[in-house]
Amino acid sequence: MPPMISTDYIEVAVILPVNQTYVYAIPGTFRADACPGMRVLVPFGRRRVTGYILAEKKESGPYKTKDVLDLLDDHPLFPESDIAFFKWVSGYYIYPLGETIKAAMPAGLDCMDVSCAFVTVKGAKALEAGELPHEEARVLGLASAKEGISLKSLSRRDPAGAAVLRGLEKKDLVQVTAVLQTQTAGIKTEKFISLPRETPTLQIRMSAKRQKILAIVREAREVSLTSLKRHVPTAANLIKPLVEAGWLNVVNRRVFRDPLGEPVTPDTPPELTDEQAAVVKQIQARADVFSPCLLVGVTGSGKTEVYMRLVADAVAKGRGAIVLVPEIALISQTEGRFRARFGEKIAVIHSMLSQGERLDQWRKISLGKVNIVIGARSAIFAPIREIGIIIVDEEHDYSYKQESGLRYNARDLAVVRAKMHNCPVVLGSATPSVQSCRNVMLKKFFKLELTRRVNNQTLPEITLVDMKKYQGSSCYTDRIITPELGRAIRFCLEKGNQALIFLNRRGFSTFPVCASCGKTLGCPYCDVTMTLHKEADRYKCHLCGHLLISDIRCPDCGTGKIRNLGFGTEKIESMLKTLFPDARVARMDQDSTARKGSTLAILRQIRNRTVDIIVGTQMLAKGHDFPAITLVGVICADLSLSLPDFRASERTFQLLAQVAGRAGRGAEPGRVIMQTFNPDHFTIKAARNQDYLEFFNQETPFRKALMYPPFSRMIQLKISGKNADKTRDHARLAADILVRLNTLEPQAQILGPIEAAIQKISSRYRWQILIKGLYSENISRMVSAMVRDPAIQKVKSVSIAIDVDPYSLL
Ligand code: ADP
Ligand code: ZN
């Protein structure tokens, strides 16, 4: 526990778009419980706002200070040592400090009603045994009420209660869990079985299984029904008569919510291959210094095993570890493997958790009860006090970039945070980003490689099929699922294997056109075409979600029927069902996984081989390990090539190489059929050869010539507003100010303002300014000065979002 506040004043970062911190007086009533990392409620102008305590202050400063109104936490949300990190993030991304910290914290703190303490099984036993010190027993007694006790009412009854409670929580005698106003009904309870005090007199039939249950309960004194079911799957039914006859007691207790769905069996670490051992050794040699490492390992080369060894090392030294993995689908797998190795020592942070669950995980970390954190991008902010290693798996993945609010890149922050903790950071990938490869060239990163698959399986053979050959074909299907791909699928199915068909575009028809006037059916609020979704029987806008009924007439001419051209995953699915009527076909994309739990359900189907052909978007391309997939079909490799984005080629290369890597991970070799209109494009060729260096060497001259990253630093300003003219004028004003500020040598390039490629989203008009320069400090200083300019600040109806190191230029 960090030291409590001992002075009269504190420095607070309020959650408001302001550029400085403020000093408040902290009344004696709160002082004993307050420390940096906790939230406070403070007056600000005529409002009351939430802020974070950064530090204690001896002096009030030149202005009259106001009093803190309330202390909102019983425990710091982050260690004091993280404040330097937050300040760095706030400065680099030009985002207010208080709002930066808020973005780093788990969502849901705001609507949090109360934290409640509940007595654990261990706590109940300790209370019963009567051996606890007086004050601990009293607090435990208060918390043993069925609904627990809120921390607020505890401190009201007992001023020292909070401190005692923290001690109890560390000893696992109580659990403190966030009870959200909206979620009180969702608190999980669990049945616990124990033996009664008196021996039962009523005799019942004792089957072998019932005897086994009794033996287990006798041994454990008390067990949860869940763990009992692990020994005797039918326990739930078997115990009912035992309870009725008085042989067993059942109580309902609240339990800590656990994100883990199914039990995982512990594994034993395999012996490392020579390559793995060499990699581990090299990183171990740098364990106590900041050492950024790019680990390039072909798909299936055993990177995850390497990560686990490094994490085990860090933990053995008493330090923590952060493991970042992209996207939920991957988490479902990586989490399982880490659980199998590290058991309950890990916390998991990802978007499939409910808010309450996320808060609980966060609390476990900040209390130091666990020190391995696995999660998606936001886990980079996990409140680990002393970090021994940070891993970023699939470092090239775009999901590490947050695209709203605090627009950070978790991969880049991993490097910054590792530097602050003096520890190694491992960026792993089979298709490393151009940025990271360049850092290796510049000797900022050192490179390690895993060149072979663990089971010595060869990489899949990739065949390119030129789609141009079939565009004249009278058979519509042949134009989309070429005869080559069709044959390969048939062959795969005949051998009893699974096929993965990839198309990075969802929906049924992606290009609805009026048959009479020829206009495309667009979204009324966005500057894009609608997509027909057959299952939903609606046209959907993929940007704002607007829906139109499917038998609509052309809104433009009012009479024409809509012809549904273009194809997405939904259409591919239905074509495959027609072509292969005996095959079981499933689809995995944003639409089919919208319901909670459906992603995992589809993945389970693939794993259990209850589907033969699985069609999907990039959700399916990443990181999964499905041994029965021997064929990967890419419907159209070029979809993302033509996007107006300097990373279009990189994105395409990575996606294709990744999806190809899904084939042949089991005993049988894999095959990939890649359909394309551009078989001679260097990106497609490099993907075919699965050679990231070939791609890197051909891509970098373009980037260099056009001064794109990694040969420059970029900031993009995204200017948007409801009024077209005002938005344009504001964008022009911002650009004028930037030009005036652009005095430092070497001068920055200011491109724009231009209208965004997608000119309107959700009725907001969009303009952009791109600033390119050799040094991030220079362009960052210009942008900070521009947004602070009174002329800019005055306009409230147009917003300027700052995107430092932007990914999406659309
Ligand atoms: P990557 O993360 O590089 O794609 P994985 O870590 O998923 O590769 O490894 C591929 C498979 O090989 C996994 O099933 C993993 O359990 C297994 N594996 C990894 N290392 C070893 C090893 N040293 N010995 C045996 N099997 C291993
Ligand atoms: Zn729309």
Q: What is the pLDDT at residue 331?
A: 63
Q: Is the pLDDT of residue 340 over 90?
A: no
The model's pLDDT over 15-42, given as tens digits with 9 standing for 90+, comes to 988 889 999 999 988 888 899 999 998 8
Highest mean pLDDT of the ranges 154-158, 207-211, 226-230, 779-783: 779-783
Q: What is the pLDDT at residue 623?
A: 65
pLDDT band at 3 (very low <50, low <70, confident <90, very high): low
The model's pLDDT over 583-606, given as tens digits with 9 standing for 90+, comes to 999 999 888 887 777 877 888 888
Distance 540 CA to ligand 2 centre (A): 8
Q: What is the pLDDT at residue 109?
A: 67
Distance 337 CA to ligand 1 centre (A): 11
From 291-300, 377-386, 495-504, 662-671, the region with the lowest mean pLDDT = 662-671
Q: Is the pLDDT of residue 753 over 80?
A: yes
Name residue 498's beta-bridge partners: 629
Distance 394 CA to ligand 1 centre (A): 15
pTM, 2 dp: 0.81
Name the token pair of 777: 């400090």
pLDDT > 90 in the chain, percent? 47
Ligand 1 atom closest to the CA of 430, numbered from 1: 3
The residue with greater pLDDT, 624 or 401, is 401
Ligand 1 atom closest to the CA of 273, numbered from 1: 23
Q: What is the pLDDT at residue 185?
A: 34
Ligand 1 atom closest to the CA of 301, numbered from 1: 3
- Overall average pLDDT of the 533-544 stretch: 87
- Overall average pLDDT of the 282-291 stretch: 94
The model's pLDDT over 36-68, given as tens digits with 9 standing for 90+, comes to 999 998 888 877 888 999 999 988 877 788 999
**Mode of pairing for the β-strands spanning 764-773 and 749-761:** antiparallel
The residue with greater pLDDT, 109 or 531, is 531
Q: Is the pLDDT of residue 763 over 50?
A: yes
Residue 523 assigned ligand-binding role = yes
From 351-365, 519-533, 625-639, the region with the lowest mean pLDDT = 351-365
CA angle 274, 278, 280 (to 5 degrees): 115
pLDDT band at 186 (very low <50, low <70, confident <90, very high): very low
The model's pLDDT over 639-691, given as tens digits with 9 standing for 90+, comes to 888 777 889 899 999 999 888 888 887 778 889 999 999 999 999 999 999 89
- Overall average pLDDT of the 188-192 stretch: 70
pLDDT band at 726 (very low <50, low <70, confident <90, very high): very high
CA angle 717, 644, 766 (to 5 degrees): 35
- Overall average pLDDT of the 292-311 stretch: 93
- Overall average pLDDT of the 614-639 stretch: 86
Q: What is the pLDDT at residue 297?
A: 92
Structure-derived torsion over alpha carbons of residues 641, 645, 650, 653, reported in degrees to the nearest 10: -20
Distance 763 CA to ligand 2 centre (A): 8
Q: Are 713 and 774 in contact (CB under 8 A)?
A: yes
Q: What is the pLDDT at residue 259?
A: 41
Residue 541 assigned ligand-binding role = yes
Q: What is the pLDDT at residue 179?
A: 58
- Overall average pLDDT of the 758-774 stretch: 91
User: What type of residue sits at position 787?
Assistant: V
Highest mean pLDDT of the ranges 95-104, 225-234, 612-621: 95-104
Q: What is the pLDDT at residue 182?
A: 40
Distance from C-alpha of 581 to C-alpha of 501, rounded to nearest angstrom:
16
Alpha helices in 221-354 (DSSP H): 225-231, 235-244, 274-284, 303-316, 328-342
Element (H, E) at 602: helix 598-607
Q: How far apart are the first and last CA of the chain?
A: 46
Q: What is the pLDDT at residue 235?
A: 87
Atom 23 in ligand 1: which residue has the minimum CA distance? 272
pLDDT > 70 in the chain, percent? 94
Residue written as tokens 């249950």?
213
Residue written as tokens 């995953």?
569
From 283-297, 341-355, 648-662, the region with the lowest mean pLDDT = 341-355
Pocket-testing residue among 295, 454, 459, ligand 1, by greatest number of atoms within 8 A of Cβ: 454
**Closest listed ligand to the CA of 296:** 1
- Overall average pLDDT of the 740-761 stretch: 88
**Closest listed ligand to the CA of 428:** 1
Q: What is the pLDDT at residue 166?
A: 83
pLDDT band at 280 (very low <50, low <70, confident <90, very high): very high
The residue with greater pLDDT, 257 or 14, is 14
Q: Which residues line ligand 1 (CB under 6 A)?
A: 270-273, 276, 297, 299-305, 454, 625
Residue 544 assigned ligand-binding role = yes
Q: What is the pLDDT at residue 54?
A: 96
**Closest listed ligand to the CA of 280:** 1
Ligand 1 atom closest to the CA of 307, numbered from 1: 6
Alpha carbon separation from 711 to 36, 252, 774 (Å, rounded): 40, 61, 7
Pocket-testing residue among 305, 308, 449, 622, ligand 1, by greatest number of atoms within 8 A of Cβ: 305
Q: Are 572 and 545 in contact (CB under 8 A)?
A: no
- Overall average pLDDT of the 343-352 stretch: 82
Q: What is the pLDDT at residue 125?
A: 85
Q: What is the pLDDT at residue 618?
A: 85
Q: What is the pLDDT at residue 263?
A: 53
Local structure of 750: helix, strand or coil: strand
pLDDT band at 254 (very low <50, low <70, confident <90, very high): low
Name the token pair of 794: 């005055």
- Overall average pLDDT of the 438-460 stretch: 90
Residues in the chain: 810
Look up residue 561 and give its DSSP letter: B
From 7-21, 151-165, 360-374, the region with the lowest mean pLDDT = 151-165
Long-range contact set of residues 725-728: C-beta below 8 Å, sequence gap at least 24: 726/795, 726/797, 726/798, 727/764, 727/765, 727/766, 727/767, 727/798, 728/753, 728/755, 728/765, 728/767
Ligand 1 atom closest to the CA of 661, numbered from 1: 4
Q: Is the pLDDT of residue 104 over 70?
A: yes
Burial 584-622 (b: 16+ CB within 10 A, else e): ebbbbbebbbeeeeebbebbeebeeeebbbbbbbbbbbb
Q: Is the pLDDT of residue 256 over 50?
A: no
Q: What is the pLDDT at residue 111?
A: 44
Atom 18 in ligand 1: which residue has the minimum CA distance? 302
Local structure of 361: helix, strand or coil: helix
**Closest listed ligand to the CA of 544:** 2
Torsion-angle region of residue 128: left (phi > 0), alpha (psi -120 to 50) or beta? alpha
